[in-house]
Structure formats: C-alpha cells, structure tokens
C-alpha cells in the first residue's frame, strides 16, 4: 500500500511543478494502477527504466498546457481499509466523482466503468482505494 501512495504523491508532485515524467518504484500494484490510468487516458504512458529496472518512468499528460489529472484523494490506508458494497457505489459514489475500486473478482476498476458496464459485472463491492480529481 505504501508504494501506491508514493506513486500517487509522485504523480501529483510532478503535475504541480509541470514535469513531463516522474519516476516511481516498480511494484505489481503500481503497474496495475498505471495500466488503468493509461487505458483511461489520464497519462501518456509509462515504461520500465533501463538504467534502474526497479523503477518506472511515468509520462504525464497535459492538454492545452493544463494537466489532465489534478490530484488524488486517498481513501483506504494500510491502517484503515475502506470497503464499499455495490449499493454504496450506485447510490453514493456514482455522482461524486471517479473512484478506483479493487475487487477480488475484477481487479482494479473505475467506478465509472463499473456502473457503465453493470450488466457485465456481478454486483459485488470492494476496497475503495482512491479518488481521481481531474
């Protein structure tokens, strides 16, 4: 979990100072989050550093010189995990922004995708990791 928060804070710090890329530690969770952010168009991409194989270069995305991502709000921490039911996702989170949810059945997913494709997803909840503010 601590590497996930380090990833989010490095991305957020890089955006504040307008860096084109930031370096983060290579972990399985970080790769999953970066895959999700890339597939949803929040970052330009990422690659594993050739010089340091335990690091990832994250290419930040800007449109009209403004960052696509503004910041993240961490919800679950290693000392206080926050779990939500399907009903909570539908009733409370659907209109309050974009959240990253970790489920045992589908892995990492966005609440937006989860609700948009609700016919595919079995109605299950999961751990609410963080909110994306863009």
Q: Are residues 82 and 95 in the same domain?
A: yes
Could you tell me the CATH number of the domain that includes residue 8?
3.30.1370.30
- In the numeric block, the tokens 């690091």 are attached to 55
Q: Would you state the pLDDT for residue 81?
A: 95
Domain's final residue, options 44, 68, 92: 68
Could you tell me the CATH number of the domain that includes residue 93?
3.30.1490.10
Number of domains in the chain: 2
Residue numbers of the domain that contains 87: 72-133
Residues 65-119 have pLDDT tens digits of 999 999 999 999 989 999 998 888 888 877 777 899 998 877 888 887 766 666 5
Q: Would you state the pLDDT for residue 107?
A: 85
C-alpha atoms less than 13 angstroms from C-alpha of 12 in its C-beta half-sphere:
15
Q: Are residues 12 and 34 in the same domain?
A: yes
Query: Rounded to an integer, what distance in angstroms lies between the CA atom of residue 131 and that of residue 91?
Result: 16
Q: Are residues 81 and 111 in the same domain?
A: yes
Residues 25-59 have pLDDT tens digits of 999 999 999 999 999 999 999 999 888 889 999 99
Question: Would you call 100 helix, strand, or coil by DSSP?
Answer: strand
What contacts 24+ positions apart, CB below 8 Å, involve 14-18?
14/58, 14/60, 15/60, 15/67, 15/69, 15/70, 15/71, 18/62, 18/67
Which 8-state DSSP code applies to residue 15?
H
Q: Are residues 29 and 79 in the same domain?
A: no
Nearest Cα neighbor of 37 from 10, 75, 64 is 10
Other beta carbons less than 10 A from residue 99's beta carbon:
21
Domain's final residue, options 38, 68, 98: 68
Q: Are residues 61 and 82 in the same domain?
A: no
| The two structure tokens encoding residue 50 | 């050739």
Q: Are residues 21 and 57 in the same domain?
A: yes
């Amino acid at each position: 979990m601590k590497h996930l928060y380090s990833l989010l804070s490095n991305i957020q710090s890089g955006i504040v100072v307008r860096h084109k890329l930031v370096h983060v530690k290579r972990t399985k969770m970080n790769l999953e989050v970066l895959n999700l952010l890339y597939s949803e168009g929040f970052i330009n991409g990422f690659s594993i550093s050739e010089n340091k194989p335990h690091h990832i270069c994250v290419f930040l995305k800007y449109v009209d010189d403004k960052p696509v991502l503004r910041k993240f709000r961490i919800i679950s921490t290693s000392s206080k995990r926050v779990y939500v039911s399907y009903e909570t996702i539908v009733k409370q989170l659907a209109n309050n922004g974009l959240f990253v949810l970790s489920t045992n059945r589908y892995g990492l997913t966005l609440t937006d995708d989860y609700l948009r494709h609700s016919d595919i997803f079995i109605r299950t909840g999961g751990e609410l990791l963080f909110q994306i503010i863009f």
